[in-house]
Amino acid sequence: MVDQKEQDQNAGRIEGGIDAIVLGACADGLAAAAYLGGAGFRTILLEAGSEIGGEIRQRELAPGISCVDGDHLVTVLDPETIADLDLYRHGISYAARRMDTAYFFEDGQSLEVEGDLLNAAASIDEEIGGGVEFQTFTRDAMDMAAQLRSAFGVSVRKKSRQRVLGKAVDASPDIARRLNQYLLSAGDVILDDYLPDGTLKTAMLSEVAFRSGAAPHEPFSFMNLIRRWAGEVSGLQAATAYPKNGTVSVIDALRRAVQAAKVEIRAASPVSKILTERDEVAGVQLANGGQIRAPIVVAAMDARRVFLDMIGPDDIDIEFQRAISAQPLNISTAQLHLVLKGFARDDKTKEHMRRRIVYAPNSENLRRAFATARAGDIPTDLMIEAIFPNAMENDEGNDDRQLLSLMAHPLPFDLTADATRREAITAAILECVEKFAPNIEERIEISDLRLPIDLAENTGAHPAAFAARSGVLQQWALSDCAARAGQIEGLYFCGPEAQIGAGISCAAGRLAAKLAIHEAKRGAQAA
Amino acid sequence: MIFPAEDFHSDSPKPSPLFTAAASSSEANIWTSVNGWSVARAYTSLEKEYQAAKTNAVIADLGPLVRYALRGDAAAELLARLTTAPAANLGTGESARGLILDNAGNVVDLAEVSRLSDDLFLLTTPTPHARRLQLASRGFDVDVEDITGDVAALGVFGPDASEVLNAAGLKSHEETIASSAVVRGVEAAARPIQFGAIPGIEIIFPKDEALTIWERLIRRGQVGPIGLDAMEVLRLESGVPRSGVDFVSAARSRSGEARLPIEIGLPHLAPLDRGWFNGRRGLRQQADRSSRRLMSLYIDDDRALTGAEVRIGDKPAGRITSCAWSPATKRVVAFADILPPSSGKQSDISVLTTAGLPVRAKLAQTVENALALSFMSAQNAATESRG
């Protein structure tokens, strides 16, 4: 990795002989760089900050206690990228591959659902009944998710997505009917059809709503769940997994893949401008005044920064500018790290702590929460996803303290948040946590809230990059548009707007790099 | 600047700032609506107005055309983005024609840009584009104001236009440069414009003084007004397509209706080697799109109507989009949206009349297509010399 001192020495220099530049060392940027380097392209990966990983980064909360910002679980990690880049060899391994989920409800009830959803019927029957209905629901939804899996990748040509949907429609009249229903209907309407039991419906409703900008009672919202269940982790569809050493280990594996592909990583190298000449990309201008010339630039940063700041509105189409800047941004997810006093030592408690814990508000309260968050206020009922990272690692703890990582949704999307606002958000999250972990507040030693603006500050991105995105259909349209990169030849985009749904995926990076490689080879052949 | 299609469905068009003056001059009293404003279709008779425009001079109420004033350091950049007109290269007082394109390179509208001072521009378009301007101006330090209803705009066309203006005290120092003058205490700006092939001058002044200037021009300049019907004949003779009639704006088009600049015969208004403008990349990518052309035709029969089928050989090739009897050429002059004849044999073109009989037609030479042809030959020569 090239350091800051060397960067300063390069100020004002024009570098040539580079085949490709990747902007942003987030998961997608790393994946894209590894693909390009692996294809024999002389590639430079430029990262504005001093660390790689984008929003996924490890921090020390207290001496001996580290947390990981960004996603704390993986759900949609692209299997093709893992295989192509040989990420297992580069160090990805899982502490838990198919995590069970414990749902807690407002009325004090709880429900344990096996990580293997297709086999969860028996245990559900035992606990609350309705196992058969749940099995029908998960089978139908996961069938559809499998059918649509490739439609959730980035589609540079709209027709390829249409082809996937067309194929699903042609498969059978039943699938065509269900596809129509799943695409258009609200999550709670579909769940009403499948799950008469209120508890099961509430649990699944929270899964539909989690990290989505579309409330589960709104049209098109059900596809959020289908998108998540279309994802794979270590070959397991719809699984939720915890990588050893946390999600930061995915970044570490990608970094090793990048190094193996002989890509030069330059940290602390902010880019001020993407250079275009006669509608083709020509390289980048660095903030220190230097230039790197290359015929391929892959941008793995948020669309606003890439197209509005680095290219500028005077060089992109009005319709394109509108598409990338007109997303409704009013919902976000917050992450709260808690360092708790005390450490469970008995096996039974430890086993419980190795699950994914979800607090699921009822349908009415969830609906109210979305409305409140959209109005800019803090909802009283939030959906919470919680994990105990130390328990996942079988970490025995060395100073009798326990880390709890929480994701809370839906919260308002704030462009600024003062200490009072942060306190109010923390209090709202803790109030929900109290409902399934009574008296937890007494055990809190450190509480650390991460909002989209914090992630934006860490990465230098626009906070919009970390807002919850709207329904899948709108995301499809946005990703199609963003992936075309304003029709600038040689520019490829794999920022957050190119991805469908939340979570570490790398699919956008893979597709952008593969397209760049394909077009460069085709261009070379034509020449 | 050409008027867009009339909005026939408009129940109660608004009076333009010159309406009172225009109505007092109207003997025919035939009115229509353009962009929601009242416009006279004829003041006396089509023939009289047409002949006056050809031999003397006429005045026209151009109030229904849409006007935006853009002020700010980045106004030139914004206009260079929004339109294909070379706004940044205009000197003070200069005007340029251009097109507004969408991101795929299809034509949204015609546009005319005038630089009134260092940081003040006037954009004139046939139809409103407030939303588009608002979207385009994000990221630019520019104040955009729609001044359509706030100013009166009057066009003087014809060979004697300069004399008319001179007599009225509005003569500009240079005929190609916009200027300002005070006429009987009314501040007015005059800028050269083109109505198709006919050069003219547009005078813009506060709407409250509409009657003063109109009356002064009619009395001192000895000119009469011209209505939309006579202007339509002049337009067809010049070969300038009309939005909503000869082509559908890409902003309102359905699948297959959007047209590239070359398809409406205006490739010279969107040269790819000009600086960046909205839709240039789309246009470059679609450069090879082999498709329809809007072509000017002379038809030797006055029974050919709008919508009539155009044939090349014995195969249907398209339809007439607009037509009128041209007293100058003693033939019907028309625009037809057709697949261009690959063989180039003009004698093969025919149009079906209302009686269902084919009548001969041939490609017309107009001022606009002469410009397009010379632009295309220059482009081809440049390509060959590069090759």
User: Nearest-CA neighbor of A489 among A526, A447, A449, A437?
Assistant: A526
Q: Which domain CATH number covers B74?
A: 3.30.70.1400
Q: Which residues in B lie closer than 8 A to residue A314 (C-beta atoms)?
A: 77-78, 80-81, 139-140, 276
Closest alpha carbon to B130 in B65, B37, B68: B68
Examine residue B371 and state whether it is found in any structural domain, yes or no.
yes
Which residues of chain B neighbour A325 with C-beta distances below 8 Å? 138
Residues B57 and B72 in one domain: no
The verdict on B57 and B164 lying in the same domain is yes
Please check whether residues B56 and B172 belong to one and the same domain. Answer: yes
Interface A:B, Cβ pairs < 8 A: 45
B137 domain-assigned? yes
CA A480/CA B145 separation, integer angstroms: 34
3-state secondary structure of A204: helix
Residues B42-100: pLDDT tens digits? 999 898 999 998 888 899 999 899 999 999 999 999 999 999 999 888 888 888 899 99
Closest residue in chain B to residue A323, using alpha carbons only: B135
Q: Number of folded domains in chain B?
A: 3
Mean pLDDT of chain B, nearest integer = 84
Which residues are paired to A337 by β-bridges?
A405, A448
Handedness of CA A455, A458, A461, A463 (dihedral sign): positive
**What's the token pair of residue B311?**
């044939």
Cβ distance A486 to B281 less than 8 Å, yes or no, reads yes
pLDDT tens column, A214-230: 898 888 889 889 988 98
Domain boundary, last residue among B146, B162, B188 = B146
Q: Do B284 and A279 touch (CB under 8 A)?
A: yes
Residue B232 lies in a domain: yes
Q: Do B282 and A325 count as a contact with CB atoms less than 8 A apart?
A: no
Q: How many CB atoms lie within 10 A of CB B88?
A: 12
A313/B278 touch (CB, cutoff 8 Å), yes or no: no
B272 to chain A, minimum CA–CA distance in Å?
Answer: 9
CB B102 within 8 A of CB B108: yes
Question: Tokens 């309102």, residue?
Answer: B252
Contact B268, B224 (CB under 8 A): no
Residue of chain B whose alpha carbon sits nearest to that of A313: B139
> Are B337 and B188 contained in the same domain?
no
Structural domain includes residue B197? yes
Domains and CATH numbers, chain A: 4-57+249-327+461-526 (3.50.50.60), 98-237 (no CATH)
Query: pLDDT tens, A131-150?
Result: 888 899 999 998 888 888 87
Q: Are residues B175 and B112 in the same domain?
A: no
Model pLDDT, residue A493: 94
**Chain B residue whose CA is closest to A309:** B139
Structure tokens at A104: 């807690």
Residue closest to A274 by CA, chosen among A312, A313, A302, A324: A312
| Nearby residues of B352 by Cβ (< 8 Å), 6 or more positions away | B304, B308, B309, B310, B311, B358, B359
B284 token code pair: 């470059």
- Residues of B344-360 as b/e, b for ≥16 C-beta within 10 angstroms? eeeebbbbbbeeeeebe
Q: Chain A: residue nearest B75 by CA?
A: A314
Does B247 reside within a domain?
A: no
Domain match, B44 and B158 both: yes
Shortest distance between the Cα of B81 and any Cα of chain A, in A, equals 6
Residue B42's SS3 state is strand
| Number of DSSP helices (H) and strands (E) in chain A, helices first | 20, 22
Distance from CA of A375 to the nearest CA of B (A): 25
B170 and B24 within one domain: yes
In sequence order, what are the beta bridge partners of B70?
B121, B144
| The dihedral sign for the CA sequence B74, B79, B80, B82 | positive
Task: Tell me if B216 is assigned to some domain.
Answer: yes
Of the residues B238, B253, B270, the one at which a domain ends? B238
Give yes or no for a contact between B110 and B55, defined as CB atoms under 8 angstroms apart.
no
- Please give the residue of chain B at the shortest CA–CA distance from A322: B135
The dihedrals phi and psi of B183, each to the nearest 5 degrees, come to: -115, 115
Return the bridge partners of B61, or none.
B154
Residue A109 identity: Q
Which CATH number fits the domain that encloses residue B39? Answer: 3.30.1360.120
Interchain contact A280–B (C-beta under 8 A)? no
Q: State ipTM.
A: 0.77
Largest CA distance in chain B: 64
Cβ–Cβ gap A315/B279 under 8 Å: no
From chain A, the residues in CB contact with B275 under 8 A are: none
Measured distance CA(A402)–CA(A358) in Å, rounded: 18
Q: Please, which residues have CB within 8 angstroms of residue A393's CB and are 6 or more apart in sequence?
A: A95, A244, A245
Q: Residue B183's pLDDT band (boundaries 50, 70, 90)?
A: low
The closest of A382, A362, A385, A360 to A373, measured between CA atoms, is A382
Q: What is the DSSP letter of A263?
A: P
Q: How confident is the model at residue B387 (pLDDT cuts 50, 70, 90)?
A: very low
- Interface residues of chain B, partner chain A, Cβ below 8 Å: 77-78, 80-82, 102-103, 132, 135-136, 138-140, 276, 278-282, 284-285
Tokens of residue B257, six digits: 């209706």
Nearest chain A alpha carbon to B251: A319
Q: How many CA atoms lie within 13 A of B305 on its CB side?
A: 7
- A507-526 helix and A472-483 helix, angle to the nearest 10 degrees: 30
Indicate left, alpha or beta for B381 from its phi (over 0: left) and psi (-120 to 50: alpha): alpha
Q: Which residues of B touch A279 (CB under 8 A)?
A: 280-281, 284
Per-residue pLDDT, averaged over B248-266, amounts to 87
Q: Do residues B89 and B162 both lie within one domain? A: no
Amino acid found at B339:
L
**What span, in angstroms and rounded, lies between the C-alpha atoms of B88 and B74?**
10
* Residue A342 confidence (pLDDT): 78
Chain A, nearest residue to B76 by Cα: A314
Q: What is the pLDDT of residue A28?
A: 95
Answer whether residue B6 is part of any domain: no
Residue among B188, B168, B169 at smallest CA distance from B178? B188
**Cβ-contact A405, A382 below 8 angstroms:** no
Please indicate, yes or no, whether residues B342 and B215 belong to a single structural domain of this protein.
no
CA distance A510 to A495: 12
The percentage of chain B sitting over the pLDDT mark of 90, rounded to a whole number, equals 21
CB–CB of B278 and A312 under 8 A?
no
pLDDT tens digit sequence for B103-137: 889 999 999 998 888 888 999 999 999 999 998 88
Instruction: Report the 10 Å Cβ neighbour count for A37.
Output: 25
B319 and B190, same domain (yes or no): no
Inter-chain CB proximity B103 and A317 less than 8 Å: yes
Look at residues B130, B146, B162 and tell me which one is the last residue of a structural domain: B146
Cα A12 from chain centre:
36
Distance, CA of B209 to CA of B186 (rounded, Å): 7
| Domain range for B133 | 66-146
Residues of chain B in contact with residue A320, where contact means CB-CB under 8 angstroms, are: 103
Query: Is residue B304's pLDDT more than 70?
Result: no
Using the Cα atoms of residue B365, residue B371, residue B376 and residue B382 in order, give the sign of their dihedral.
Answer: positive
> Residue B378 sits in a domain of what CATH number?
2.40.30.110
pLDDT above 70 (res B172)? no
DSSP for residue A311: I
Point out the residue among A308, A312, A320 whose CB comes nearest to the CB of B103: A320
**Local confidence pLDDT in tens for the 527 residues of chain A:** 555 566 666 667 888 899 999 999 999 999 999 999 999 999 999 999 888 888 898 888 888 888 899 899 999 889 899 999 999 999 999 998 899 999 999 888 889 998 888 888 888 888 888 888 889 999 999 888 888 887 877 555 556 777 777 887 787 888 888 888 888 888 888 998 898 778 889 999 999 999 998 898 888 889 889 988 988 887 888 889 999 989 999 999 999 999 999 999 999 899 999 999 888 899 999 998 899 999 999 999 999 899 999 998 888 889 888 888 877 788 999 999 999 887 766 777 778 888 999 999 998 999 999 999 999 999 999 999 999 988 888 766 556 788 899 999 999 998 888 999 999 999 999 999 998 888 888 889 999 999 999 988 888 888 888 888 888 888 888 888 888 888 888 999 999 888 888 889 999 999 999 999 999 988 777 76
Residues B57 and B191 occupy one common structural domain: yes
DSSP state of A308: I
- Taking the CA of residue B340 and the nearest CA in chain A, the distance in Å comes to 29
Q: Are residues B92 and B206 in the same domain?
A: no
Q: ∠ CA B163-B168-B174 to the nearest 5 degrees?
A: 55
In a domain, B331, yes or no: yes
Among B132, B280, B284, whose Cβ lies nearest the Cβ of A318?
Answer: B132
Say how many Å lie between the first and final Cα of chain A, rounded. Answer: 34
Q: Choosing among B134, B142, B276, which should be mutated to test the A contact, i.e. which has the most A CBs within 10 A?
A: B276
The sign of the torsion formed by the CA atoms of A136, A137, A141, A146 equals negative
- In A, residues 301-360, which contact B (CB 8 Å cutoff)? 308, 312-315, 317-322, 325
